[in-house]
Amino acid sequence: MARNEPQRLRATIQAVKELILDQGLQPGDPLPTEAQLVDLLDVSRGNLREAVRTLVALDILEVRHGTGTFVGQMSLRPLVEGLGFRGVVLPGEDFQSLRQIVEVRSGLDHALADAVVERMDDAVAVELKALCDAMAEHSERNEAFAAEDRAFHLALASMLGNELYSELVAAFWDVHTRLAPRLGVPTPRDIADTVAAHRAMLDAAVSRDLEGYRAAVGNHYAPLLRVLDSTSTTG
Amino acid sequence: MARNEPQRLRATIQAVKELILDQGLQPGDPLPTEAQLVDLLDVSRGNLREAVRTLVALDILEVRHGTGTFVGQMSLRPLVEGLGFRGVVLPGEDFQSLRQIVEVRSGLDHALADAVVERMDDAVAVELKALCDAMAEHSERNEAFAAEDRAFHLALASMLGNELYSELVAAFWDVHTRLAPRLGVPTPRDIADTVAAHRAMLDAAVSRDLEGYRAAVGNHYAPLLRVLDSTSTTG
């Protein structure tokens, strides 16, 4: 390989990004064909393909085979993929990597407290109550309730009206949920507490009780952190 | 291109990840050579290169030219790169993308309040005071103080003892700092307020004044959000 390949690759990546900006392309818009890009950017086909592969990994581009290359959604998918793998490669002592992820989730939920308590309204309260009821039913039948749990946290995050914040909440929920079974972390035995903790968050928000809401967020994450402690001492 | 290339590529990416796990490789460890990997994983050279390129983009692998391929640091660099570009491609109305990033920064700092106020000690207080003094000196000379600002927020984040949280704080600081000039957002005219806001955060933490600390965090981000408002109405 040429010694200057990294610089050339970086330059090609930069050139593709500038083309997206110059042409005002938006997510979902098609890029010129590979042959056109080779001409336009004056790069080799191999170099272009490596640049495209890099940008696909970052969700900046999307290749639909048989159709072409498009501007990607620029989602947080690379974050989920990277942290998910890092958590397995570097689990750390006592599930440290998973504990860090749970603490980030807790931090993101805590930081929502003001907005949630201030903006809670009947429509959201009804939606959250239905999710809590569904969780309770699943819990009684010893079933998991991942979908309801995710929807609950996303409904709270959406009250901030900040799409990026919601994506972060979803991303760390996803990493947490995928990593826990891979690391062999058991489901908390006190899973019923988790159901009750969601309802306590809802009740505190409806009562506009800021300190009560913060306490409920703390109680929500307590069993998730406790199971990491108990696992580390018995394993 | 073969129609089944995406699946084959995904399978090769997965195979490289499993090899890292099976061999217990850690960040910085060398991978087998390209020729060995082609044999070991029974894949084509082109396919392997695309997989490596994807994993390099995610910082799961690192290619040092002339040396070989190594396990990467699995940092949040892909997040910074992705969000930085997304903020330029999708600036939104009224700098919406930058506003969302500033709000995430604010949320991350707010969520640290309990840990910072509880754990503030003389050593950290001295470090933060020196940073505030340096910011004030720069501000008086009409100089920027990005390095001190970043160090201040990272010193606070480090009090949680959660490396991932610190990386997130750094990542959103980096995206914010790179994006603002690219979007043509002026430096807040009330930059002296920002210096004072850092000092207020420190003072409240030293006094173990939780509500005062939260208010100071709010005041810290106020000029940064205000400049987005004023820009959107005058521009």
Q: pLDDT-based confidence at B122, cuts 50/70/90?
A: very high
From chain B, the residues in CB contact with A183 under 8 A are none
- Percentage of chain B surpassing pLDDT 90? 79
B103 in contact with A at a CB cutoff of 8 Å? Answer: yes
What pLDDT score was predicted for residue B223? Answer: 82
Q: Are B165 and A85 in contact (CB < 8 Å)?
A: no
What pLDDT score was predicted for residue A234? Answer: 42
A60 in contact with B at a CB cutoff of 8 Å? Answer: yes
> Cβ distance A28 to A75 under 8 Å?
no
A70 in contact with B at a CB cutoff of 8 Å? Answer: no
Tell me the mean pLDDT in the region B35-47.
Answer: 96
Architecture of domain B5-71 in CATH? Answer: Orthogonal Bundle (1.10)
Distance from CA of A137 to the nearest CA of B (A): 32
pLDDT at B185 over 60: yes
B222 in contact with A at a CB cutoff of 8 Å? Answer: no
Q: Are B164 and A104 in contact (CB < 8 Å)?
A: yes
Distance from CA of A143 to the nearest CA of B (A): 30
How many CB pairs lie under 8 A apart between chains A and B? 142
Among A5-19, A40-54, B47-61, B173-187, the least confident range: B173-187
From chain B, the residues in CB contact with A158 under 8 A are none
Which amino acid, one-letter code, is at B90? L
- Percentage of chain A surpassing pLDDT 90? 79
What pLDDT score was predicted for residue A203? Answer: 98
A163 in contact with B at a CB cutoff of 8 Å? Answer: yes
From chain A, the residues in CB contact with B63 under 8 A are 6
- Spatial separation of the C-alpha atoms in residues A22 and A32, rounded to whole Å: 13
Q: pLDDT-based confidence at A231, cuts 50/70/90?
A: low
Q: Are B65 and A103 in contact (CB < 8 Å)?
A: no
Residues belonging to chain A:
235
Q: Which of A108, A111, A163 sits opposite B100 (nearest CB)?
A: A163
Taken in order B83, B87, B92, B96, the sign of the CA dihedral is: positive
Q: Which of B17, B162, B164 sits opposite A85 (nearest CB)?
A: B17
B164 in contact with A at a CB cutoff of 8 Å? Answer: yes
At A9-49, the pLDDT tens digits run 999 999 999 999 999 999 999 999 999 999 999 999 999 99
DSSP state of A80: H
What pLDDT score was predicted for residue A5? Answer: 58
Decide: helix, strand or coil at residue A30. strand
DSSP structure string for chain B? --TTHHHHHHHHHHHHHHHHHHTT--TTPBPPPHHHHHHHHT--HHHHHHHHHHHHHTTSEEEETTTEEEE----SHHHHHHHHHHHHH---GGGHHHHHHHHHHHHHHHHTHHHHHHH--HHHHHHHHHHHHHHHHHHHTT---HHHHHHHHHHHHHTT--HHHHHHHHHHHHHHHHHHHHTTPPPPTTHHHHHHHHHHHHHHHHTT-HHHHHHHHHHHHHHHHHHHHHHHHH-
DSSP structure string for A49-78? HHHHHHHHHTTSEEEETTTEEEE----SHH
- Percentage of chain A surpassing pLDDT 70? 93
Q: Which of A1, A26, A27 sits opposite B65 (nearest CB)?
A: A1
Among A91-100, B50-59, B128-137, the least confident range: A91-100
> Cβ distance B119 to B155 under 8 Å?
no
From chain B, the residues in CB contact with A56 under 8 A are 54
The upper half-sphere exposure of residue A201, i.e. CA atoms within 13 Å in the direction of its Cβ, equals 29
At B195-211, the pLDDT tens digits run 899 999 999 999 999 99
B93 in contact with A at a CB cutoff of 8 Å? Answer: no
Tokens, residue B96: 């919406």
Q: Are B27 and A59 in contact (CB < 8 Å)?
A: no
pLDDT at B190 over 90: no
Tell me the mean pLDDT in the region B127-155.
Answer: 95
Sorted by where each begins, the domain ranges of chain A are 5-71, 77-234
Q: Which of A6, A89, A111 sits opposite B20 (nearest CB)?
A: A89
Mean pLDDT of chain A: 91
Taken in order B196, B199, B204, B205, the sign of the CA dihedral is: positive
At A77-89, the pLDDT tens digits run 999 999 999 999 9
Architecture of domain B77-234 in CATH? Answer: Up-down Bundle (1.20)
| H-helix or E-strand spanning residue A210 | helix A210-234
pLDDT at B144 over 60: yes
At A45-70, the pLDDT tens digits run 999 999 999 999 999 999 998 899 99
Higher pLDDT, B232 or B89: B89
Distance from CA of B140 to the nearest CA of A (A): 33
Q: Are B162 and A100 in contact (CB < 8 Å)?
A: yes
Tokens, residue A62: 């999307």
Higher pLDDT, A18 or B66: A18
Q: Which of A27, A60, A103 sits opposite B82 (nearest CB)?
A: A60
> Which residues have a Cβ under 8 Å from the Cβ of B29 and sit 6 or more positions away?
B70, B71
Tell me the mean pLDDT in the region B65-85.
Answer: 94
* Paired sense of beta strands B61-64 and B68-71, if any: antiparallel
> Which residues have a Cβ under 8 Å from the Cβ of B30 and sit 6 or more positions away?
B68, B69, B70
> Which residues have a Cβ under 8 Å from the Cβ of A103 and sit 6 or more positions away?
A221, A225, B160, B162, B164, B165
Burial (CB count within 10 angstroms: exposed 0-12, middle 13-18, buried 19+), residue A140: exposed
What pLDDT score was predicted for residue A230? Answer: 60
Tokens, residue B205: 């933490």
What pLDDT score was predicted for residue A17? Answer: 97
B182 to A25, B85, B145: CA distances (angstroms): 17, 10, 18
Q: What are the start-end ranges of the E strands in chain A? A: 61-64, 68-71
> Cβ distance B148 to B134 under 8 Å?
yes
From chain B, the residues in CB contact with A100 under 8 A are 162-165
